[in-house]
Each structure stands twice: as structure tokens, then as C-alpha cells.
């Protein structure tokens, strides 16, 4: 009995915290695009319970509310390392796909880009601290919005840790985002980039930010 008493804390610590999982709220129901709206070229389709990009350049955005001080979990598969992205901090409902580029942030999905244009960075603004994405496999991206701070983990590895006002490189190309501050709260969306860039999403969920 005394041995069990001594071992119980370590056993509990090693157990998954199932209660925490109940805090995740799915934004995609696996059946249809309820709660989502598309702007721009191409589209998203639901295929075998997954969101699939078709054509582009377009954006599928979540219409029901903007988000701040949350963690966004996106589970995606990127056959061939193609181009897509998760948009955050979009200041108002978008009517076309370029406003989110210049006034929000794109968390890049692209396994071939350089350190400023690869999976997990704020596109062209931050340099990847690591490259843990697994091309062709399911990947878990978690984006933490904590006031002015944005952190991105891919498969549990920190790729981006950026706070508003941190230095960023100058804009190099017309399609890169305008520099400048983003709101603390905004809409989120998924990018369909082009006909050759087919990416699948099976989960988009959010949970409240836990303060330590």
C-alpha cells in the first residue's frame, strides 16, 4: 500500500489529461462547410471527411467569430510539399483573398520554401527556428495567439515565436505581405493557393489560452 502511495503521483503525471481535450472546439464538422465561406478563385471541397483545396488563389474563412487569446490546432497533410497556409488575425470579414495577406498573418504551409517561406513561419516575416514538418504525412500545427505574441508549433516543435514590434526583413516581392502591426483578435482562414497545390485538412479546432 505504501509503495502504491509513493508511485501514484508519477503514474498520474504520466497519464493523458483527457479533461483538457474536452476544451477543444472543432470548427470543421467533417461533413460540410457550415460556418465557413470562400472568397477568391478555386474552392474547398469536403472529400471523405476531409477539407481538400482545389485551384486558387482563394481563402476559406470561418465566419462565426474572430479569435484572440486561443490556441488553434490544424491537422493537415501536404502531399508533395505543396503550398497553402493558415491565416490569423484578419481584422474584418474578408471579401477577397488579398486583404488577409496584407492585414493579417499567413502561417505558411510549404515544405520547399526557404527559412522565411516554409511551414510554420509567418510568411516572409519570421525565420524558421526548426523544420519539423513531415511531407506527405499528417502534421499537427498549433498556433498560439497570446495578446501581441504569436507562437507556432509543428508536430510539437517550436517554429515561430513572434511579438508585435519584433524586427522583420523588408518586403521583397509584391506578393509578400505589407509590414505593420496586426490586431490582437481576428478571423482565421485556410488558403487554397493554386491548381497544383492540393492540401488536405482533417481538423481545425480552438481552445482557450491557458495562463500559467
82-106 confidence digits (pLDDT tens): 899 999 999 999 999 999 999 999 9
What residues pair up with 153 in beta bridges, in sequence order?
142, 158
Q: Report the percent of the chain where pLDDT is more than 90.
A: 86
Q: Over 70: is that where the pLDDT of 22 sits?
A: no
pTM surpassing 0.85?
A: yes
Q: Report the percent of the chain where pLDDT is more than 70.
A: 89
What pLDDT shows up at residue 81? 85
Instruction: For residues 41 and 73, give the distance between their C-alpha atoms in angstroms, rounded to a whole number.
Output: 25
What pLDDT shows up at residue 34? 98
What residues pair up with 70 in beta bridges, in sequence order?
145, 208
Q: What is the mean pLDDT of residues 145-169?
A: 98
When pLDDT is cut at 50, 70 and 90, the band that residue 10 belongs to is: very low
What pLDDT shows up at residue 16? 39
Q: Over 50: is that where the pLDDT of 14 sits?
A: no
pLDDT higher for 56 or 16? 56
User: DSSP code of 196?
Assistant: T
What pLDDT shows up at residue 7? 43
DSSP assignment of 32-78 equals: S-TTEEEEESSEEEEETTEEEEESSSEEEEE-S--B-SEEEEEEEE-
Q: Over 50: is that where the pLDDT of 80 sits?
A: yes
pLDDT higher for 161 or 15? 161
Which domains occur in the chain, in start order? 64-191+203-208 (2.60.120.560)
Amino acid at each position: 500500500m505504501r509503495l502504491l502511495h509513493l508511485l501514484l503521483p508519477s503514474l498520474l503525471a504520466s497519464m493523458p489529461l483527457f479533461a483538457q481535450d474536452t476544451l477543444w472546439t472543432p470548427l470543421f464538422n467533417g461533413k460540410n462547410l457550415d460556418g465557413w465561406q470562400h472568397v477568391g478563385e478555386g474552392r474547398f471541397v469536403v472529400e471523405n471527411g476531409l477539407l481538400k483545396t482545389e485551384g486558387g488563389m482563394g481563402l476559406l474563412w470561418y465566419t462565426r467569430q474572430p479569435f484572440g487569446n486561443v490556441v488553434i490546432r490544424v491537422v493537415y497533410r501536404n502531399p508533395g510539399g505543396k503550398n497553402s497556409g493558415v491565416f490569423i488575425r484578419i481584422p474584418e470579414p474578408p471579401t477577397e483573398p488579398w486583404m488577409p495577406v496584407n492585414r493579417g498573418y499567413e502561417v505558411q504551409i510549404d515544405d520547399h520554401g526557404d527559412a522565411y517561406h516554409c511551414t510554420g513561419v509567418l510568411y516572409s516575416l519570421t525565420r524558421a527556428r526548426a523544420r519539423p514538418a513531415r511531407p506527405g504525412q499528417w502534421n499537427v500545427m498549433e498556433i498560439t495567439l497570446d495578446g501581441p505574441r504569436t507562437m507556432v508549433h509543428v508536430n510539437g516543435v517550436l517554429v515561430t515565436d513572434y511579438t508585435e514590434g519584433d524586427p522583420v526583413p523588408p518586403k521583397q516581392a509584391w506578393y509578400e505581405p505589407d509590414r505593420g502591426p496586426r490586431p490582437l483578435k481576428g478571423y482565421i482562414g485556410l488558403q487554397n493557393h493554386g491548381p497544383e497545390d492540393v492540401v488536405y485538412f482533417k481538423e481545425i479546432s480552438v481552445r482557450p489560452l491557458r495562463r500559467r
